[in-house]
Structure 1
Amino acid sequence: MRMRDPPGTFLPRNASARLRFSPGAEGKMAAPMSEGPPALEPGAAPYGNFPNYSRFHPPEGRVSLLPGGLLQSLFPAVARPLLGLDVGCNSGELSVALYRHLLGLQESKGCLDQPVAGKDLNLLCCDIDPVLIERAQQCSPFPASISFANLDIMDSSAREPILRSYLGRFGRSTFDIGFCMSVTMWIHLNHGDSGLMEFLSFLSSLCKYLLIEPQPWKCYRAAARRLRKLGRNDFDHFRSLAINGDMVERITQILMKDCAMELVCCFGSTSWDRSLLLFKSNGSNHEGGESSEQEQ
Structure 2
Amino acid sequence: MAAAGPGAAPGAAPYGNFPNYSRFHPPEERLRLLPAGLLRSLFPTEPRPLLALDVGCNSGELSVALYRHLLGLPEGSADLSQPADDLKLLCCDIDPTLVARAQQGSPFPTHISFATLDIMDPPARAALLGSYLRRFGRSAFDLCFCMSLTMWIHLHHGDGGLQQLLALLSSLCSYLLLEPQPWRCYRAAARRQRRLGRGGLEHFCSLGIRGDMAQELSLILTRDCSMQLVASFGPTSWGRSLLLFRAGRRQGGEGHGQS
Tell me whether the two structures share a fold, i.e. TM-score over 0.5: yes
Q: Which of 168, 178, 181 lines up with 1:212 in the alignment?
A: 178
Alignment-derived partner of residue 160 in structure 1: 126
Give distance in 2, aligned partners of 1:39 and 1:275: 29
Q: Is the 8 A contact 1:224 1:234 kept in 2?
A: no
Q: Is the 8 A contact 1:228 1:234 kept in 2?
A: no
Give distance in 1, aligned partners of 2:114 and 2:209: 31
Q: 1:24-103 counterparts in 2 under 5 A?
A: 36=2, 39=5, 41-43=8-10, 44-103=12-71
3-state SS of paired residue (1:108): coil
> Structure 1: 5+ residue runs without aligned partners?
1-9, 11-35
Alignment-derived partner of residue 185 in structure 1: 151
3-state SS of paired residue (1:250): helix
3-state SS of paired residue (1:225): helix
Counterpart amino acid of residue 201 in structure 2: F
The 3 A distance-change label for structure 1 pair 277 and 256 is: same
Alignment-derived partner of residue 242 in structure 1: 208
Counterpart amino acid of residue 287 in structure 1: Q
Alignment-derived partner of residue 287 in structure 1: 251
3-state SS of paired residue (2:63): helix
TM-score, length of structure 1 as denominator length: 0.83
3-state SS of paired residue (2:251): helix
Give distance in 2, aligned partners of 1:38 and 1:182: 18
Alignment-derived partner of residue 229 in structure 1: 195
Counterpart amino acid of residue 9 in structure 2: P
Give distance in 1, aligned partners of 2:154 and 2:104: 30
Shift of 1:115: 2.4
Counterpart amino acid of residue 112 in structure 1: L
Shift of 1:114: 2.8
Give distance in 2, aligned partners of 1:63 and 1:292: 26
Alignment-derived partner of residue 138 in structure 2: 172
Give distance in 1, aligned partners of 2:3 and 2:76: 33
Shift of 1:63: 1.1
The 3 A distance-change label for structure 1 pair 238 and 144 is: same
Counterpart amino acid of residue 39 in structure 1: G
Give distance in 2, aligned partners of 1:45 and 1:209: 29
Alignment-derived partner of residue 268 in structure 1: 234
TM-score, length of structure 2 as denominator length: 0.94
Shift of 1:230: 1.1
**2:112 is the alignment partner of 1:112:** no
The 3 A distance-change label for structure 1 pair 287 and 198 is: same
> Structure 2: 5+ residue runs without aligned partners?
none
Give distance in 2, aligned partners of 1:201 and 1:38: 30
1:156-204 C-alpha deviation (Å, 9 max, x unpaired): 0110011000000000010000000000000000000000000000000
Shift of 1:42: 1.5
3-state SS of paired residue (2:62): helix
Give distance in 2, aligned partners of 1:268 and 1:48: 22
Give distance in 1, aligned partners of 2:243 and 2:35: 13
The 3 A distance-change label for structure 1 pair 133 and 291 is: closer
Counterpart amino acid of residue 177 in structure 1: L
Give distance in 1, aligned partners of 2:255 and 2:169: 22
